[in-house]
Amino acid sequence: MIVKEEFLGRLRKIFDLNMYEVKVWTALLSRGVSTAGELSNISDVPRSRTYDILETLEKKGFIVMKLGKPIKFVALKPEEVIERVKKNLIKGADEKSKRLDKLKGEDILNELNSLFTNGVKFVEPSDLSGSLRGRQNVYNHLDMMIREAEKTITIVTTAPGLNRKLEALMPSFEKAKKRGVVIRIASQITAENKQVAKDLSKVAEVKNSNEVRARFAIVDSNQLLFMILDDEKVHPNYDVAIWLSTDFFAVAMEQLFEAAWKGFKKI
């Protein structure tokens, strides 16, 4: 069986499998029904590993073990595999989410908070900074900043960035507004995102920043998050942001924003 390495690599990422698992699975797909020994020969996977791999694939929902001797394994339709894997992922994520929710009422969370509170006392303000790689990590951090906001949230974003803000941050924006936090968002408003801007205007004051293209956020005049790359030119996995916790710089940036904000048009 000859399968291109590029194809195997894509399957590894999509289905979260290791290389041996991918080779054995594709080997079984090519045969329909086969024994472990045959699959070892076809896939070029050591026989000593093949049984363990087949057992793992069965648990993950990729294959079925056929009754009888010799023991054989049956391939499932790829469409069925996708449905099974998806259900298993949702079930696993739900179980992990419930375990994490339970921590909120347990002593272990108090101990973790105590460690953090005691540790942060020894941190210099200049050390409260860092870089974030990958757009998902960037948005996770921005969401945290919004959830902890007490007074103000200022966001400047691009036209496509405005769409992402609605999808990823709307629940946190709504909670922040209920807490009395003042939210302002400046972005390029186009025909494609005009409705998004109107939806966001329910929780924030939104203005058209015209030709200004920038990506940053300021929270409570003491935290800043700068996205340093053009979101239309960089892949989400390679997006980069810089986080700073500094009153001095944040206040200066807000003063510059205030001057620009007056010139932006209301939607």
Amino acid at the residue 233:
K
What is the reported pLDDT for 125?
Answer: 52
What is the reported pLDDT for 101?
Answer: 82
Q: Exposure pattern of 106-123 as b/e (b: 16+ CB <10 Å)?
A: eeeeeeeeeeeeeeeeee
What is the reported pLDDT for 207?
Answer: 96
Residues of the chain under the 70 pLDDT cut: 1-3, 116-117, 119-128
DSSP code of 239?
A: -
DSSP code of 153?
A: E
Encoded tokens for 247: 């009153």
What is the reported pLDDT for 3?
Answer: 67
What is the reported pLDDT for 122?
Answer: 57
φ, ψ (nearest 5 deg) of residue 22: -65, -45
What is the reported pLDDT for 2?
Answer: 57
Amino acid at the residue 250:
A
What is the reported pLDDT for 124?
Answer: 52
pTM for this model (two decimals): 0.62
C-alpha to C-alpha distance for 113 and 128, rounded to whole angstroms = 17
Residues of the chain with CATH 1.10.10.10: 5-78
DSSP-derived secondary structure for 58-124: HHHTSEEEESSSS-EEEEPPHHHHHHHHHHHHHHHHHHHHHHHHHHTTSHHHHHHHHHHHHHHTT--
What is the reported pLDDT for 1?
Answer: 55
DSSP code of 223?
A: E
Range 128-266 has CATH code 1.10.630.10: no
What number does CATH give the domain 5-78? Answer: 1.10.10.10
Residues of the chain with CATH 3.30.870.10: 128-266
